[in-house]
Structure 1
Amino acid sequence: MSDIVNWGVLGYARIARLNVLPAISRAANARLVAVASRDPAKAAECARDFKCERTYTRYEDLLADKDIQAVYIPLPNSMHKEWAIRAMEAGKHVLCEKPIAMNASEAREMAEVSRRTGKLLMEAFMYRYTDRSRRVREVIESGVLGEIRHINATFRFLLDRPNTIKAQPELGGGALYDVGCYPVNFLSLVTGRTPVSCHALAEYENGVDVNLSAVLQYEDGLIANIHCGFNAYGKTFAEVIGTKGMMEVADTFLDFRGGIQVYAKDGTRTIPVAESDRYRDEVADFSAAILEGREPLLTLDETIRNMEVLDMIRAQLKVPA
């Protein structure tokens, strides 16, 4: 049995070009075989810059390639469900960009296809493969914070690229889908649970949310705040406050080195965080899961739970006509 997984990529998107395609080349158990782009010029660019063995101008042709075992999908959010399902039904395992779908119902349908076909499906939250995320879990599991009573998580940046799909509502644009899903996932990382109530507000531009905050409450009373946006200065940050202590996580979703601050009655300490290669490790884990016949790091149960929270938030919003 081969110890290498052959990869194909559906779409020559910015995140694929800058992050995931290079990551596949850095993963010891992965090999880039083919990329499909409906733009022939982009397909040619990919072949040149990444020494890609094969390029296709139709996604269907890549899925018909019998040498490909896994497919990465960086397409617009509105296209995730269709092409993930088509890929699994074509016999490919699927690593799909976040959010995995437009709503929880779509995610459940995709999960059912994964179960029926026996093909792995994982949402690509690359930050979960950082040393920072591992240290967060260690602090939570140690019990040093006591009973968690409040969580606050933020991911925002200034979006200044024209004609981006992030600003197109028909393609699933908006800050909540693009970066708000990270704080929502962070809540899942910390609690492993689904909130029971939600209040949310958003600012809109051209039909998409560009500035959004939500307050969520859990069955035991725990309250969490999430914030996201792309119309002002960037920030990624999280804090977790318990009955015995507090943790501050700067650069929460990034992979460079730094430190996590933990405050408790016995004093303050800094937990060092090592630099990580989050995209490479994501590809490597998913490839290993295929080769070893196991689940990857992020399960579909968690993904569906996160989509349910996104649905809760979206249900609270008043989209301007």
Structure 2
Amino acid sequence: MSNKVRWGVLSTAQIARNNVVPAMQAGAFTEVVAIASRDESRAHAAAAELGIPRAYGSYEAMLADPEIDAIYNPLPNHLHAALTIKALEAGKHVLCEKPIALDAEEARRIEEAQKKSGLLVGEAFMVRFHPQWRRAREIVREGRLGEVRAIQTIFSYFLTDPGNIRNQADIGGGGLYDIGCYAIATARFMFEAEPERVIGILDVDPRLGTDRLSSGLAVFPEGRQLAFTCATQLVPCQRVQILGTQGRIEIQIPFNAPASMEATIVIDDGRDLSGSGREHVTIPPADQYTLQGDAFSQAILGEQPLEWGVGDAVSNMRVIDALFRSAGSGQWERP
């Protein structure tokens, strides 16, 4: 293997074309060599648009290509597990879009296939690679906030198109799968722990059948709490507050930080409510998709360990499962 990992892209999904593939093409350790679609003409069009040398009219044909080392899987949610397992069986490492599966049992089947193959699998929570999240966790670890006890997260957008995969219940649409998973993953990242119990509330769109407004509480060890709301039919908004006994951090664009702009996190010691104790920390521009691709590729090359493997993805899915169960039972549930 050269000093770059050769990647194939499993579908011409919008997130791949617009965000992930261009970012990976700019990486130091990633080379995108192929793209596949069940519609060969779409594969060729995407390849031409993105400057990718090979296009395939089926997923299986690309998986059979011996000159591909790793697969990026941005398929609709209900296809994540099946095609990730097929890719592993074909001898490819896999970076799969979130959520990695529709439930923890599917995720565990991926984990079993990963162990059998000896290859690497990761869930594409790109935000954990952005320097603003790394810096926020450093501040927490340094003790500047005192004892961190609460995280509050809001993530919303407005989308009512029934043709959009995010609004199709039978293929894993809905807000909790699409964006609530970020609130869970980033709280686990900041607390460096797993929640012990959760409770969730879902408002389901009567026409689409997907959860359009979802809120949850997750209780972590020592009584620490995540409170989050995610929505697919509210004004676009993203905010994360990390609150400690002596200060707080606000991450202003936590999940879709523009790659061309500086990011800002605010540290506030709480001396008054007018904000005189605020400090604005500026983070240089960074493309979290490029950083994610390079980190995964370096792990494949053996240059560094994989920080979050499939076991982490299983843990995140367990929390999502518990929130869905709680929304049905009206009770606290354990992941």
The normalised TM-score by structure 2 is 0.91
The alpha-carbon deviation at position 57 of structure 1 amounts to 1.2
Query: Are positions 1:246 and 2:254 aligned together?
Result: no
The alpha-carbon deviation at position 160 of structure 1 amounts to 4.8
Query: Are positions 1:196 and 2:206 aligned together?
Result: no
Instruction: Compare 160-169 and 27-36 and name the one that shifted more.
Output: 160-169
Which digits, 9 at most, give the CA deviation of each residue in 1:249-268, with x for residues without a partner? 11111334232111226733
The equivalent residue for 2:219 is 217
One-letter amino acid of the structure 1 residue matched with residue 297 of structure 2: S
Instruction: Compare 294-303 and 184-193 and name the one that shifted more.
Output: 294-303
Q: Secondary structure at the match of 2:221?
A: coil
Query: Are positions 1:280 and 2:293 aligned together?
Result: no
One-letter amino acid of the structure 2 residue matched with residue 67 of structure 1: E
Matches within 5 A, 1:1-321: 1-205=1-205, 206-256=208-258, 257-264=262-269, 267-292=277-302, 294-318=304-328
Is this contact kept in 2: 1:120–1:295, CA < 8 A? no
Q: Secondary structure at the match of 1:317?
A: helix
Equivalent-residue separation in structure 2 for 1:231 and 1:255 (angstroms): 21
Is this contact kept in 2: 1:69–1:92, CA < 8 A? yes
Q: Secondary structure at the match of 1:292?
A: coil
One-letter amino acid of the structure 1 residue matched with residue 278 of structure 2: T
One-letter amino acid of the structure 1 residue matched with residue 255 of structure 2: F
Instruction: Compare 154-163 and 244-253 and name the one that shifted more.
Output: 154-163
Which digits, 9 at most, give the CA deviation of each residue in 1:202-241, with x for residues without a partner? 1111211011111122232222201111101111111111
Is this contact kept in 2: 1:131–1:275, CA < 8 A? no
The alpha-carbon deviation at position 162 of structure 1 amounts to 4.8
How many residues in Structure 1 have an aligned counterpart in Structure 2?
319
Equivalent-residue separation in structure 2 for 1:204 and 1:242 (angstroms): 34
Equivalent-residue separation in structure 1 for 2:15 and 2:75 (angstroms): 10
Gaps of 5+ in 1: none
Equivalent-residue separation in structure 2 for 1:168 and 1:154 (angstroms): 22
Is this contact kept in 2: 1:11–1:37, CA < 8 A? yes
Report runs of 4+ in structure 1 exceeding 3 Å deviation.
Answer: none
The alpha-carbon deviation at position 24 of structure 1 amounts to 2.4
Question: % of aligned pairs identical?
Answer: 36
Equivalent-residue separation in structure 1 for 2:233 and 2:147 (angstroms): 35
Instruction: Compare 245-254 and 56-65 and name the one that shifted more.
Output: 245-254
One-letter amino acid of the structure 1 residue matched with residue 213 of structure 2: N
Instruction: Compare 19-28 and 66-75 and name the one that shifted more.
Output: 19-28
The alpha-carbon deviation at position 114 of structure 1 amounts to 1.2
Is this contact kept in 2: 1:188–1:302, CA < 8 A? no
Equivalent-residue separation in structure 2 for 1:114 and 1:294 (angstroms): 18
What do you get for the CA RMSD once the two structures are aligned?
A: 1.7
Q: Secondary structure at the match of 1:107?
A: helix
Equivalent-residue separation in structure 2 for 1:208 and 1:309 (angstroms): 18
Equivalent-residue separation in structure 1 for 2:99 and 2:328 (angstroms): 21
Gaps of 5+ in 2: 272-276, 330-335
Instruction: Compare 161-170 and 119-128 and name the one that shifted more.
Output: 161-170
One-letter amino acid of the structure 1 residue matched with residue 218 of structure 2: L
